[in-house]
Amino acid sequence: LAAVLAAAYVSSAAAVNLNTSAVSYSSAWLPARATWYGAPNGAGPDDNGGACGFKHVNQYPFSSMTSCGNQPLFKDGKGCGSCYQIRCSGDRSCSGNIETVMITDMNYYPVAQYHFDLSGTAFGALAKSGLNEKLRHS
């Protein structure tokens, strides 16, 4: 999925352009948007299990590379644990490197057809080395 990160919809979210692998097992890239929440280097939510019930998302196999997904990604819970490849574009801070995130929660405030609300760690992983903070504030 090609993803374009949206402007912040909550105070801790940032915006950039992003690419993500297809929602259905396709090799095509589709447009999407991403925001981030939680601590800048955190796993996202407090360890309450979220809508998927996953605990300890800062540990393997999640390793803090988590995301809330809006309905087309969350799929009424059937998307829990789904992995997506994402890459950032459209901002000078973007590395363009492909990262993998896992859906661990529901995003109730979509800003695009496909919206990833990434953990701080996952969002920062999309930046060029040393530009995590700049990407978060773009």
Domain annotation covers residue 16: no
Q: Are 119 and 65 in contact (CB under 8 A)?
A: yes
Tell me whether residue 14 is in a domain: no
Mean pLDDT of 47-61: 88
> At 121, which CATH number?
2.40.40.10
Q: What is the residue range of 99's domain? A: 3-8+29-137
Please identify which residue in the block is written with the tokens 């695009």.
112
pLDDT in tens, 59-77: 999 999 999 999 999 999 9
For residue 63, count other CB atoms closer than 10 A to its CB.
15
All residues at 6 or more sequence positions from 76 whose CB lies less than 8 Å from its CB, including other chains:
none
Please determine, for residue 10, whether its predicted confidence score (pLDDT) is greater than 90. Answer: no
Q: Answer whether 113's CB lies under 8 Å from 72's CB.
A: yes
Confidence of residue 80 (pLDDT cuts 50, 70, 90): very high
Across 117-131, average pLDDT: 96
In a domain, 22, yes or no: no
Query: Is 27's pLDDT higher than 60?
Result: yes
The answer to whether residue 124 scores a pLDDT higher than 80 is: yes
pLDDT band at residue 5 using 50, 70 and 90 as cut-offs: very low
- The candidate with the shortest Cα–Cα distance to 94, out of 50, 52, 124, is 124
* Residue 127 DSSP one-character state: B
CA gap 39, 37 in Å, rounded: 7
Q: What is the pLDDT of residue 29?
A: 87
The structural domain count of the chain equals 1
Written as one letter, the residue type at 64 is S
The verdict on residue 51 lying in a domain is yes
Q: Please state the rounded mean pLDDT for residues 4-19.
A: 36
Nearest to 64 by CA among 2, 10, 118: 118
47 pLDDT tier (thresholds 50, 70, 90)? low
